[in-house]
Structure 1
């Protein structure tokens, strides 16, 4: 046992005294595509949402956005990605708002979104249709008041 520890003590300095043998390099470039010129996209549901009328269909709003790409990017080589750091626990396609029991479901071309999944963009001048619609947790009675939620919409390119 003493021999093992003595041998280990002799080999240990060899393992940590290796010379640098790896380098990192690259080139940073601006993203070739932008969403709505980098501006915040706001969807206003107004001030008259009935707490008893939120059913995943009422109050649906279009998300107005544009996709602009520099030369060389465009047809069939970009995608959009919708993501949320706060998905609703009661609906995996909804963003949780700051109002308990209220989420905003995101639809892309009439299909509930899967967060963080690439959505192909065949033509940036005609991007996929995105809609947002309030949904509620059926175990919670909604109360009156303002609400807010956020998500991320970004381009992904090859």
Structure 2
């Protein structure tokens, strides 16, 4: 060991033995609270069902048969929320595909039309009013029959 190494080792040992009060007092303090990531529960984790009943094909105009839907959406540790409907585009008017050519369901959040895949951002807990309305493709002639479909509502946090 060289003299320089011995001196450095001795100095480190002496500083390590000094009480904390020998060093400068803290002039900064840090505190806070760690919270978990945001999460939400939509409709109490149950499928939300919207039944339009009987729809007269000649009365489908994008206004008739509109259904405003109440739904519980509860979130923890969230303030800004993104809502997006995905999966199953009818291929026209941004509507949900219901497996009937030329027919779909249009989605509205607070009376703003949403296309499948569009993101609607808002501040929680002011959940938007959701509405759904049957629409048909311009020039389409619809035949009678049952329809059913599904879509996925995705919730994310910016």
Instruction: Return the TM-score normalized by structure 1.
Output: 0.69
CA RMSD of aligned residues (A): 1.9
For 2:154 and 2:138, the matched residues in 1 are separated by 31
Higher RCO (C-alpha 8 Å, min separation 6): 1
- Structure whose CA Rg is larger: 2
1:99 and 2:100 matched: yes
Deviations 1:32-67 (A, max 9, x none): 2111121100101012x1110000000000132221
Does structure 1 conserve the Cα–Cα contact (< 8 Å) formed by 2:38 and 2:78?
Answer: no
Instruction: Return the TM-score normalized by structure 2.
Output: 0.69
What are structure 2's unaligned runs of at least 5 residues?
1-35
From 74, 80, 83, the equivalent of 2:78 is 74
Deviations 1:84-125 (A, max 9, x none): x22122212x1111222110011111111033333223122x
Does structure 2 conserve the Cα–Cα contact (< 8 Å) formed by 1:51 and 1:142?
Answer: yes
Q: 1:123 to 1:31 in 2, by over 3 A?
A: closer
Could you list the runs of 4 or more consecutive aligned residues of structure 1 that deviate by over 4 angstroms after TM superposition?
A: none
> Which aligned pairs between 1:47-126 and structure 2 lie closer than 5 A?
47=54, 49-70=55-76, 73-75=77-79, 77-83=80-86, 85-92=87-94, 94-124=95-125, 126=126
What are structure 1's unaligned runs of at least 5 residues?
1-28
1:34 and 2:41 matched: yes
